[in-house]
Amino acid sequence: MVEKNLPVFRLVDESSREVLGLAGDISGFFVAGEGGPGIVTLVGANQIEPSRRKWDDVELEVLNFQRRMIGAYYVGRVAPDGPTVSCDVDELRLRFNATCEYPEAEEIWRHWASGRELEMGEWRRWPSNQYDAWLHVVQNAWFSSGKAAARYGASGSVLLDGSKMVNAAAFYCELGEAVNGAGGYFGSNLDALADCLSAGPVDAPLNIYWEHVDATRAALGDRFVESVLSTMREYGVVIRTESG
């Protein structure tokens, strides 16, 4: 767990990359809903310029324990929710033009920011109703690190365990790890999967051995499985499936 006084959130001007403020904690940003405007509280905020009444084109960065950026959200316009802004305050309320629609992502980000190396299959230790949030963090962190929608793993052969795929997010978590290692991303829907299959620095053919595919069919349905198989074969993936 990240210490509460550690600045793990940073507001940055997207164009100039100027740091607008730091905070050791945040509330009101990771909320259920559509990810629209909301009131966000920065806890332990500092480096906030008191003369500014609003900021446009703002990005909220997630920092790890070394203050390195591991994730980012474009939030657009940010303005104080009140008449004044202090340079150093315990809690600063701001109006954000956008929020994150995965409440569980906040705790997952803190886990990722702790500095402990991610392990294969670690996402399975979280409740299955939080797999969507884990996949969201995986995707955000992947692109924030500068990686592309592509295959980076050296091996051309991967194993998928269909018995772990209790929902669609679990399928993409399992696939992302199998192809790109712990915390790896390889699509979050069929279109994104196609993007990953169509580009990347690894040119060797991809071979997938999908065991317990009947368990995947039982959990996600024949239509989902057949759509995935069709997409993979369209891009030259060699697939072997095994029931049981």
pLDDT at 155: 73
pLDDT at 86: 52
Determine whether 236 is exposed, middle or buried from the number of CB atoms within 10 Å of its CB (0-12, 13-18, 19+).
exposed
pTM: 0.91
Give the chain's mean pLDDT.
Answer: 89
Mean of pLDDT values over 34-57 = 80
Query: For 140-184, what is each residue's pLDDT tens digit?
Result: 999 999 999 999 876 789 999 999 999 999 999 999 999 999 999
| pLDDT at 7 exceeding the cut of 50 | no
CA distance 83 to 148: 43
CA distance 77 to 30: 17
- For residue 240, the cross-strand partners are 209
| pLDDT at 223 exceeding the cut of 60 | yes
| pLDDT at 118 exceeding the cut of 60 | yes
| pLDDT at 219 exceeding the cut of 90 | yes
| pLDDT at 87 exceeding the cut of 60 | no
Query: For 35-45, what is each residue's pLDDT tens digit?
Result: 899 999 988 77
Contact 84, 50 (CB under 8 A): yes
Strands 69-80 and 55-63: antiparallel
Q: Of 46-50, 56-60, 84-88, 98-102, which gets the smallest average pLDDT?
A: 84-88
Contacts of 223 (CB under 8 A, 6+ apart): none
Contact 59, 14 (CB under 8 A): yes
Contact 182, 122 (CB under 8 A): yes
